[in-house]
Amino acid sequence: MRPRQTTRTSTVAAVLLALLAALLAAPPAAAAASGPVTVLSHGFEDGTTQGWTPRASDSVAVSTALARTGAASLASTGRTAGWNGPTLDLLGTLEQGTRYTFSVYVRLAPGESATTLRMSVERRSGSTPSYDQVAGSTNAGEGAWTQLTGTYTLAHDVDFLTVYIESASATAAFHVDDFTLTYTPPRPIQTDIPALKDVLAPHFPIGAAITRAETLGVHGELLARHFDSVTPGNALKWDATQPTEGDFRFADGDALIGYGAEHGMAVRGHTLVWHNQTPSWVFDDASGEPMTATPENKALLLSRLDAHIRAVVGHFGDAIGTWDVVNEVIDESQGDGLRRSRWFELTGLDYIRTAFRVAREAAPEAKLFINDYNTNVPAKRDKLHALVAQLLAEGVPVDGVGHQMHVTFEWPSVAETGEMLDRFAPLGVEQQITEMDMSVYRDSGESFPTPPADRLLTQGHRYQAMFDLFRAHDDQIGSVTLWGLADDSTWLDTFPVTRKDHPLLFDTELQAKPAYWGIVDPGQIGNPPGGQGCTVAYRTSSWQGGFQATVTVTSATAVAGWSLAWTFADGQRVTQMWNGRRTQNDAEVTVVNEPYNAVIAAGGSVSFGFLGSWSGTNASPTAFRFNGTACAVV
């Protein structure tokens, strides 16, 4: 009997060891599914500035004159320049490669005139400062608190790192309150869905514009899985590569192009000549004064252009196979169709001719493009066509036309876009889609706390229609590039106004959207993953004592009315709700539809949001019931 007992004991021990091993392996998976982690939370209720200091000669101090919550805020006074304001040292706080969410509430002091406020990060490697915007310029007044919020990923080695708040007004006094710094452990990318580059391989390469942040962690995994070309979004522009004369900086460009080479990706170089992001020194004369249109200044400017292109293109050599040589030179409101930039005012068309000819000498094998936006608009399209035809007739080496395609979910029409492609075909040049994204907004007056499900579905179908058109013209189109990787980082969050946009194929958690399925498999647009009867995405952003939640429900079947129920584990209370009506009995919460969002199509989604309060902890619910049926939580 003892041998049998010993065997049983060994078996139990083995099981326990296996269970222990499983538990030890569990935290990473659990972390990936958890809610936001709060790194810093400053409400100034302890009477100290909690590490915030003046950025210059201004003053920061705890004030009880205004408070968003509690009894105190931080006042910034005595400012003598717009960049003055409260700043917080983050060196050693932020980990490289992690995407953080910054949030702070701001309010002008009584009596101050309305102005804009924004939040940025200053980082330095050695003595070289760089500035990264976190929350764009946002209108602020003295009558209400305004939230500044945005995401930021540290993608560089630094020895100085701060976040700061500044204003357009040089002297405006303002208050800040309820600053939070959080991050959400990333969800794994989806590896059971088709890779974009494989689906589109029979037609053209698919690319993304990136920063160094998109090459790290799960972002780098998503980029490598789905894309076969990259465009450095800002790292190759003049202000990045030659901020002062003769001072060339290639570290960021080298890193991005090195990532592309490591993963077998082609690289588009963007851009050698543009009227924006060109340092002012380029247009100063030999004495340091702004240039006027003289033969001497024209010669000096063209010589600077020649030297810049030879240095930049020569540095990267054949690692870059395509260059946007000149960017956005068309203004259809002008009789000749040419933008009245400083380049044009001082050199006429010679800066374009020079740029292409020097680029050809510096990179004989590269494809050279002229790139512009709104080329689907007939007036602009025709002016660009006329310019390209003229340059070709003169022997200027223009190999292709780049169509940026910054569009919206309802503009332009597919027909207009097809006419754009057909217009340039007779010129015999290659065409590329160079900067595509698709805003979910109709105009600057719209702003959504979370994107409506119907907009995302419409966006998905519009991406489908556009890519069907591109496939039909694959004999003319050499590549398609999206201006960004995923919705968590897009320039449209601050243009034309500050608000969260969702213009790309993957959402803020790097998961495939209807826009992705519109390209890959339109029959899947709106279908919940895995064929579940319903799925629930519950996302929160917390601060001390409070939080905001966004809940999205996707139903596999059509419904004409809905309810969603869950249980809070930590005594949270819902205090305000939108896009739904709530009842709460102790920990039990039930939300039912509003009249306007009662109907959900098969495979469709509905979203609602709420504000809540908490103390102690704020764990996310782990189970939801949609019309009485348990849902998968994603």
Catalytic residues, which ones? 328, 435
Angle at 501 between CA 500 and CA 504, to 5 degrees: 140
Sheet containing strand 563-567, strands side by side: 581-585, 588-592, 563-567, 624-626, 629-630
CA–CA gap between residue 144 and residue 410 (Å, rounded) = 34
Which residues partner with 608 through β-bridges? 551
What would the two tokens of residue 516 be? 């992705």
Q: Where are the beta strands (DSSP E) in 312-426?
A: 322-327, 367-372, 400-403, 406-408
CA–CA gap between residue 195 and residue 222 (Å, rounded) = 9
What are the backbone dihedrals phi and psi of residue 94, each rounded to the nearest 5 degrees, phi first? -90, 135
3-state secondary structure of 156: coil
Q: Where are the beta strands (DSSP E) in 483-543?
A: 534-543
Q: Where are the beta strands (DSSP E) in 398-485?
A: 400-403, 406-408, 430-439, 477-482
CA–CA gap between residue 273 and residue 241 (Å, rounded) = 12
Distances (CA, A) of 42 to 45, 339, 545: 8, 48, 12
CA–CA gap between residue 243 and residue 129 (Å, rounded) = 12
What would the two tokens of residue 380 be? 């602009």
3-state secondary structure of 468: helix
Angle at 509 between CA 594 and CA 89, to 5 degrees: 110
CA–CA gap between residue 456 and residue 3 (Å, rounded) = 65
3-state secondary structure of 469: helix
User: Quick one: how far is CA 575 from the chain centroid?
Assistant: 31
Burial of 287 (0-12, 13-18, 19+ CB in 10 A): exposed
- The CA-based diameter of the chain, rounded to the nearest angstrom, is 107
Place of tokens 């050809």: 360
The HSE-up count of residue 353 (CA atoms within 13 Å, CB side) is 12
What is the torsional sign of CA 570, 573, 574, 576?
A: negative
CA–CA gap between residue 208 and residue 213 (Å, rounded) = 13
Place of tokens 């000549």: 273
H or E element: which one contains 207?
Answer: strand 206-210
Place of tokens 């409400």: 43
CA–CA gap between residue 504 and residue 208 (Å, rounded) = 10
H or E element: which one contains 103?
Answer: strand 99-108
Q: Note whether 482 and 505 are within 8 A (CB).
A: yes
